[in-house]
Amino acid sequence: MSQRIRIAIAILAGGAALWGAAEHPRQPDLHWQAPVQAAAQLNPLAHQPQTEMGGRKLFRRLCSSCHGPAGAGLERAANLQSFDTQVQTDGTLFWKITNGNLDRGMPSFANLPALERWQLVLHLRHLEEPAKDPGY
């Protein structure tokens, strides 16, 4: 098989995979649930919005390679702007950042100081979904 044919097949296969991904968006892991006590935790930085900038820097350094610079998700990573993510409690997000979910490719960030993990949660609250195109 010629080099050109192999390249064309690879391009078509990649396009089909992207098309399939658009048709079948990433589904949340319904089994990845924070314990009730963890979900009820309150963010100690919630009333210190100035600390969100530190969370943004951490996000860019640690999270954006999988979740994208705006948190919309790349490939298998969750869209952190989504309603499903944003309705989770701060405690749940903190627990997920801390524990990870290796089955879905999310590493644990338990090695980060707790306040830095809370800064990440604070930053996640500042992510916004892009405005929908009204179609006209």
Sign for the CA dihedral angle at 102, 116, 33, 76 comes to negative
Task: Please report which confidence band the pLDDT of residue 24 belongs to, taking 50, 70 and 90 as the band edges.
Answer: very low
Whole-model pTM? 0.74
Average per-residue pLDDT for the chain? 81
7 has a pLDDT exceeding 70: no
43 vs 4, which has greater pLDDT? Answer: 43
The string of pLDDT tens digits covering residues 62-109 is 999 999 999 998 887 899 999 989 999 999 999 999 999 988 889 999
Map out the domains of the chain with their CATH numbers: 30-124 (1.10.760.10)
CB 88 within 8 A of CB 79: no
pLDDT at 21: 42
15 has a pLDDT exceeding 90: no
**Strands of the chain, DSSP E:** none
pLDDT at 10: 45
Tokens of 39: 């979900």
What percentage of the chain reaches a pLDDT higher than 90? 57
For residue 18, the tally of other CB atoms under 10 A from its CB is: 11
